[in-house]
Structure 1
Amino acid sequence: MTEHSARRWHNHWTHFLAFGFGSGALPKAPGTFGTLAAIPVFLVLAQAPFWLYAVLVVLAFVLGCYLCDWVSRDMGVHDHGGIVWDEFVGFWITMMLVPVSWITVVLGFVLFRFFDVLKPWPIKWFDQRIHGGIGIMIDDVIAGVFAWVCLQGIVWVAGF
């Protein structure tokens, strides 16, 4: 990757979205900052009925497969750390059907980052074997599902 390509996140809509509105361009922990940037969008999405929320997340996944593939090829780097659209979608999956409160948002954030960073089986298996845009997206989708299951259990036990 060249310095020029790293600065391109704001020059084209595909880079802008793939870099999470610029959150992925931060020099340290872009995945964490990308997930943080997904929170305000989640708070807007959470106002929608579940069917619309689900449709938008599916569309964001499909768009993400395209974005991540296009931008990684354009930059010449598979799964560049600054590409964080996958974190957006993974976090939104984590938060599906969860009552919105600062506690659930923090728990969802921590759980999603835990599974996204550690990549327990089968997340790591998919991450290593599937390439292109879907490969960039799929590990975060699975991490989001794992985090969702855990968060649903916590919400159920704690009675949020």
Structure 2
Amino acid sequence: MGGRHFRALIDSEVQPIPLSQALSTVQQTIRELNDKANLLAYGDAVQLEALAVGAVVLASHSGGFAGMRFDAFFGALLYELGMRTAPNEPIVFPVASVNDMIVPFLSPPNVEWPCFLPAELNLGNLAKMMNNDGAQLLVFNESVSVE
């Protein structure tokens, strides 16, 4: 379940692919099966949200149960979004404290890890919430949030 060289998604040739490419392939197949059925007006926004949340979770898993530095997480996130071709290429920020932050191995949205899991694991719970303006928030362990 995760780790530096683990890739959750592979293509038909057993090569690693980012989440954005996997979703694109699935969406194309669904559209063909539905004979290009009309999507609901909000369909694209829902798909974009699913891509973003899925990419955050998968990127956090690339560091394994120990978690990972933010610079490595951000590089993995850009890979999952299809914005980079190398999955293990960190993005170094000019402020060292940002690079050194540790991103935990995140749960799927609104699912908490069972309390019987060993405390040594660096697990984080990801929650999706709405703020007063109706914007979606992602909250990691009640401390870090992304809008």
Q: TM-score range by the shorter chain?
A: 0.3 to 0.5
Which is higher, the Rg of structure 1 or of structure 2? 2
Alignment TM-score, normalising by the size of structure 2: 0.33
Alignment TM-score, normalising by the size of structure 1: 0.31
| Greater relative contact order, per chain length (Cα 8 Å cut-off, separation 6+) | 1
Which structure's residues are more often strand, by fraction? 2
